[in-house]
Structure formats: structure tokens, C-alpha cells
Amino acid sequence: MTTQWTDSAQPSIGTMYRLQWEDAQQCHVLLFPEGMIKLNGPAAEILKRCDGKTSVAALVADLETTFGEADLRADVIEFLEQAHGRHWIR
């Protein structure tokens, strides 16, 4: 499968969604008109960086630096593809 998530792509949260911290859930969530999606930590960290300005390469580099991990690109791309398939990002 060919991915649209090249290093220069700049993903952004879909217009129907809003990412925010939810105290009641003690996690980040994606809010949309019909409800709410609870996010795990890694999903929230990736989506926080999907601002339409940050490239995939910069997003991956930031995550690797922030969490002291290496080789996160494949995991990030997999998540971006799933999130795009669910229309969370564009």
C-alpha cells in the first residue's frame, strides 16, 4: 500500500474534531458532534503534533527526542494511516 504520509506531509486534525484534555476521563480525547473518542497516550502525543504546519519528519523527530526513543517512524505512519482512515486527520 502506498502511503500519503511522506516526510514532508503536514497532517492536521479533521475539521469535525477537536483534541482536548478531559479531566473527567483523565486523558486526551477527540470531540466530535456525535460524541467523544478516548485516546491512549501515544495517540494523543501524535495528534497534538498534527497542526497542519509540522511535517511528518519533524513530528517523528520531536517524539523521538521527547521520549528518548528511536525508530518511531513506522509506528507513527501506521497510526497516521489509521487516523486518516477514521477521518480524524487530513
Dihedral sign of CA atoms 65, 67, 72, 76 in order: negative
83 phi and psi angles, rounded to 5 deg: -65, -40
The answer to whether residues 9 and 55 touch, using CB atoms and an 8 Å cutoff, is: yes
Model pLDDT for residues 5-43, shown as the tens digit of each residue: 999 999 999 999 999 999 999 999 999 999 999 999 999
39 phi and psi angles, rounded to 5 deg: -110, 145
Q: Distance (Å, rounded) from C-alpha 8 to C-alpha 80?
A: 14
**pTM exceeding 0.95:** no
CATH fold group of domain 18-85: Arc Repressor Mutant, subunit A (1.10.10)
Domain ranges of the chain: 18-85
The band of 1, judged by pLDDT with boundaries at 50, 70 and 90, is very low
